[in-house]
Structure 1
């Protein structure tokens, strides 16, 4: 799987010690007595698919509270080519570089049931009178359904540094213990969700979020007979980079798309406040490789792992952003699942690997902007007498309680085929 996606907890690093360390703790090493130079080149193709049922809350009609109505099926596909290079710069110390090329990232929205859809029959309007909501004289759809967007291009570059504190190959009384830091740079062209795209659109190659991401991790493994159990823990901190996106930057600003666009840029609602707020992510991976075939020149491993990730709340591109054409404040959620992989050591240079991964994403809100903040310290957010307190990102049509959208039954499925060349 991609070594560039921190939200997935199966990131691995290549190294020459294939026989005595699980993939998750491999580190390229140089200046060894028997190997003066170590390097890995990893090339792989993968496709990730996300399928989510999007529901919408409605006013409670029973003592049990809120009801949720089926709204949309979301289907996203992300096929890509991954290239990773790892070079040993010292004994048990590795410097790595990686970049993905996204072929065509496809997103599709279709009705679960289009009868009496609140998406098409929306009668709530933003900015009808001095920024306040109103009831429209006729229905105005939030967006058209079915809908499809296409994007693709070169993704963010990744740079990494890893150190094997313990190396079982050199001291079999100790496990492999690796610590590292990965840095994902905001090198991809900035994605503007307000502009619809297809394969011919000018900005269809823009897929970047313009966010620095720093991933700290540690991993351990120990070969015991035919098994090589391992454990990995990671945490990613996002930091907004230059030229980050804000909904107030929309090229074709639709006054219906923001609750109070007049507040964009004023002191309390500057770009840092209204812009992207990428989520923090963290996770645990544990599993084991099993040597199922072991001959001097041919080796085969079966890799079974369990994955748990946490994704914090934030304002970023989610399953509804391409339809509503803006970044959306998203609730936090967990990912739980597993991966099955098969790895074959063909010769001293070439190792092949194939894997399949399934993750279940817990239910979470997709449109949850706060209506504003108490600027004058009166104790409440007063949207009538002090409209400067209204969050310009807040959308009366989708962020009010009883109108919000939620992701449910969400699953990620990923297939990967890769080749590792060891030198």
Structure 2
């Protein structure tokens, strides 16, 4: 027992227990006896950069033809460096509806959502499989090439430019326990964040490659419901916390479908004639955003605090993990290939370091940086079709109704697929909170 107390004393730096909420378990509460109304106004600048190497499967012998069985092994060749940059201003308001019941609203203003693709060292126009593609989307040999391999999937190098108002967020959170009111219990919050598809719809068929032209839109027309719970427990100058969340996507009205190109650009689809025919409905060929499950473990440390002047300086250390499910959506190659692409599931793991300085009870500034490693994952892995007649196989003959119209023989076929490797994401956030 004495040893346990010594460990706790070391963790808390010998400071007596005191109740206070960590930033992650902050909640606006109104109609309290000593605090009739809580209002938080947050303004923050956020910049996120993702970098990845894109490789492509390649057979050690002749390219796979339509109808051939998948090879036992393929090698991967280096193709591109990808970089995506997102810079935005986040405006948020949270206020108490009742005791420990908070409503929140957030609107992001996306200054830029730009992407670039460049060849890796040792790859160029002469030897890249991107600029020397052998087939059309339906699997037939490239029609305009004398040797069958003079096609081009997309221009390299290339840039894409987008921006505008992002999706609005609406949130509701309730604290079942609040350590500020009862220091015998931790702070425990359960909430839901709803991301509404309010941003102008992004058209995947538009690359938006002109820096002097209009920027492309950033909306995906998908409802996203994030359910989450957070715990924190103040122990002197240390406050460990935990957060778990799960995001459920639901396709919204007018969401994009690759079959929208069946009349304007049928050459970008493997079987455009199957579009909008059962079972290849707009829903089946449209965006299928991935679900996500995230876990956060962290601790706030308070090296300085002056309670009489409401001043505090906090260090925030976090471990982050996020599982991104399989889905058809906008990934690292969508703007280049002008389509919604099906990505395999992958993990994001990393950490975050942040600092918070409260100069007075009404004003707080914060800064943080986090780093995530994204595990290797396929970027083009669309299903080839569905077995409609129950014979146990998918008929891949030209004109077959079983062929998935959005499947592309050029890069969804095993031995031609693209994969993202060595992928990392860095995010920097700088913001301020005004409390009323």
Could you tell me how far apart the structure 2 residues matched to 1:32 and 1:110 are? 58
Could you report, residue by residue, the CA deviation over 1:316-357 in whole angstroms, capped at 9, with x for unpaired residues? Answer: 000000100110000000000000000000111100000001
Could you tell me how far apart the structure 1 residues matched to 2:267 and 2:53 are? 25
Query: Match for residue 279 of structure 1?
Result: 290
Could you report, residue by residue, the CA deviation over 1:86-131 in whole angstroms, capped at 9, with x for unpaired residues? Answer: 010000000000010000111000001215100001111134xxxx
Segments of 4+ moved more than 2 angstroms? 63-66, 132-137, 198-202, 250-256
> Is contact 1:38–1:87 with CA below 8 Å preserved after alignment?
yes
> Is contact 1:119–1:142 with CA below 8 Å preserved after alignment?
yes
| Cα pair distance change 1:343/1:252, threshold 3 Å | farther
Query: Match for residue 78 of structure 1?
Result: 86
Query: Given the two structures, how large is their TM-score scaled by the length of structure 2?
Result: 0.89
SS at 2:140 equivalent: strand
- Alignment root-mean-square deviation, CA: 1.7
1:156 pairs with 2:157: no
Query: Match for residue 133 of structure 1?
Result: 140
Could you tell me how far apart the structure 1 residues matched to 2:399 and 2:271 are? 12
- Matching residue within 89, 96, 102 for 2:104: 96
Could you tell me how far apart the structure 1 residues matched to 2:237 and 2:384 are? 58
Q: Where does 1:227-242 land on structure 2 (aligned, <5 Å)? A: 227-242=238-253
Could you report, residue by residue, the CA deviation over 1:16-63 in whole angstroms, capped at 9, with x for unpaired residues? Answer: xx97111111110001111100010000001000000000011257x9
1:373 pairs with 2:380: no
> Is contact 2:411–2:417 with CA below 8 Å preserved after alignment?
yes
SS at 1:277 equivalent: coil
1:246 pairs with 2:254: no
1:329 pairs with 2:323: no
Quick check: 250-259 or 402-411, which moved more? 250-259
SS at 1:272 equivalent: helix
Could you report, residue by residue, the CA deviation over 1:124-146 in whole angstroms, capped at 9, with x for unpaired residues? Answer: 1134xxxx523445111000100
- Matching residue within 361, 379, 384 for 2:397: 384
Deviation, structure 1 residue 384: 1.7
Query: Match for residue 44 of structure 1?
Result: 44
Q: Where does 1:8-407 land on structure 2 (aligned, <5 Å)? A: 20-59=20-59, 65-112=73-120, 113-114=123-124, 115-127=126-138, 133-138=140-145, 139-197=150-208, 198-202=210-214, 204-250=215-261, 253-295=264-306, 296-297=308-309, 298-384=311-397, 387-407=400-420
Deviation, structure 1 residue 205: 4.6
Deviation, structure 1 residue 67: 1.1
The structure whose residues are more often strand, as a share, is 1
Could you tell me how far apart the structure 2 residues matched to 1:288 and 1:407 are? 32
Quick check: 288-297 or 140-149, which moved more? 288-297
SS at 2:369 equivalent: strand
Could you tell me how far apart the structure 1 residues matched to 2:367 and 2:55 are? 35
Query: Match for residue 420 of structure 1?
Result: 433
> Is contact 2:368–2:428 with CA below 8 Å preserved after alignment?
yes
Deviation, structure 1 residue 386: 6.0
Deviation, structure 1 residue 168: 0.3
SS at 2:279 equivalent: helix
Task: Report which of the two structures shows the higher radius of gyration computed on alpha carbons.
Answer: 2
In the alignment of these two chains, the number of paired residues is 400
SS at 1:359 equivalent: strand
> Is contact 2:202–2:218 with CA below 8 Å preserved after alignment?
yes
SS at 1:102 equivalent: strand
Deviation, structure 1 residue 253: 3.0
Deviation, structure 1 residue 200: 4.5
> Is contact 2:262–2:269 with CA below 8 Å preserved after alignment?
no
Could you tell me how far apart the structure 2 residues matched to 1:190 and 1:346 are? 41
SS at 1:249 equivalent: helix
Give ranges in structure 2 of 5+ residues lacking alignment. Answer: 1-17, 62-70
Could you report, residue by residue, the CA deviation over 1:348-393 in whole angstroms, capped at 9, with x for unpaired residues? Answer: 1100000001000000000001111111222211122761111010
> Is contact 2:187–2:232 with CA below 8 Å preserved after alignment?
yes
